[in-house]
Chain A
Amino acid sequence: MTADAEEISVRLVGLLPRLRRFARSLSRNQHDADDLVQAVVERALRNHEQFRDGANLAAWLFGIMKNAWIDACRARGRRAEVALPEDSGEHPAVSPGDMDTSLWSVSEAMSKLPEEQRLAVALVLVEGMSYKEAAAVLEIPIGTLTSRLARGRSALAAALSENEGPA
């Protein structure tokens, strides 16, 4: 039992940069994103016996992150999530990496998407997963994934072209 946990632990260390990227595409605040990664790592090690040997570890971890993130969003309340940027007139904490303007603007645009579209976009566009893999992570049919993906992309395209001014 511990033996498997050790294997997962070794591989987890190597996957941390990807977990941080996925978390950052869900949460525009780097500190919150890292909290999410930490929660996922702890859950994964606690539940390591649920990981089937030979399965894709990254996909399993992304599935855990999806659940952890949805839990976190529910706990915080959707109102706070959606209302903050427009109403407060201030941006949430910006980390040094965000000096990169494309990270900042894409992240802002992503944060306005409904959770389910954001997850679909993050898995396929950011993580480069196939539709089949992404649908399995999200536990939804492929048709549902592609329609969320299409709606998410249209909204992103609109938000990004707005940021950049009229083309």
Chain B
Amino acid sequence: MNYDDEILMAYVDGELDERLSAEISAAMERDPALAGRVERHRALRAKVAGAFTTVLDQPVPERLRAAARATPLAAGGPQRRAEVMDFPARTSGAASRWGAREWSAIAASLLLGMLLLWQFLLPSQRSMITAADGTLVARGALARALDSQLASTQRPEDPVQIGITFRSQDGSYCRGFALRRAETAGLACRVGGEWRIPVTASAPGSTAGLRQAASLPPPVLAAIQARIAGDALDGRAEENARLGGWDPGHSE
């Protein structure tokens, strides 16, 4: 059987249907010359793909991070709305002027905010978030929703609304969420088999459209931005992550 190079390339790229793909695999066993041609296509693909992976590991220049953080308003108009988005900046001049005192003041107010928030949760909602060892952890209906609810299939009337799901830089899965009645939104990350909640914020008004990170309050957005690696999970990746039990080692 004679296969042209375009077919063999498609074979290497995983683009052939099962039948044709199996036919070529079988033919390769009988025909070493054919196997050699396929091997050359495979080696070229691996070489080209491999050559550029080092770029992924290089630090991203600050000018690009700054460009990505700017919203159109921030770029053009006097009404800057992007201050909160600048919050996680690591090395920019403005951020470096912040000393330990300012940071600890922020940390203290965030913590106070969390505790106040926790105090004012309705008893039914208080059962959804508990404080343990200085961190907030999801419990009850919130933990169940984080475990099993998919943004693609949830109903608007569900008490917990799941927003963006993504992989953080340490590999763990994180999910944005909102509690409808408490007008509270937050971020939960899967660590050590539980959902830890590094940030919550009040989310007054509607939580409709939570599928977009957009409707999460700025502190939650900033926390997402500081953690996210790669793109947000799409519906299928979200489902696979759930099937894998949110285990970072489970391949998608």
Instruction: Report which A residues bind B (CB closer than 8 A).
Output: 2-7, 9-18, 20-21, 24-25, 34, 37-38, 41-42, 45-46, 48, 53, 56-58, 97, 100, 102-103, 105-107, 110, 121, 124-126, 128, 130-131, 146-147, 149-150, 153-154, 156-157, 160
Contact = CB atoms under 8 A, between A and B. Distances in A.
Contact of A41 (B68, B164, B166): B68
A131 B7 CA distance: 13
Contact of A14 (B44, B166, B215): B166
Given A10-B225, A34-B64, A147-B6, A2 B215 contact: no
13 contacts: A3-B212, A4-B212, A9-B69, A10-B228, A11-B213, A14-B231, A20-B64, A48-B72, A97-B55, A103-B54, A146-B6, A150-B5, A157-B44
B26 interface: no
A7 B70 CA distance: 11
Given A3-B215, A37-B64, A147-B6, A14 B47 contact: no
A103 B9 CA distance: 22
Contacts of B63: 34, 38
A105 B72 CA distance: 39
B13 A13 contact: no
Contacts of B52: 21, 24-25, 103, 106, 126
B237 to A, nearest CB: 11
Could you say which of A14, A24, A25, A156 has the most chain B C-beta atoms within 10 Å of its C-beta?
A: A14
Given A13-B228, A58-B231, A126-B48, A149 B54 contact: no
Contacts of A10: 164, 213, 221, 224-225, 228
Could you say which of B44, B63, B64, B213 has the most chain A C-beta atoms within 10 Å of its C-beta?
A: B64
A21 B221 CA distance: 26
Contact of B71 (A5, A18, A149): A5
Contacts of B166: 14
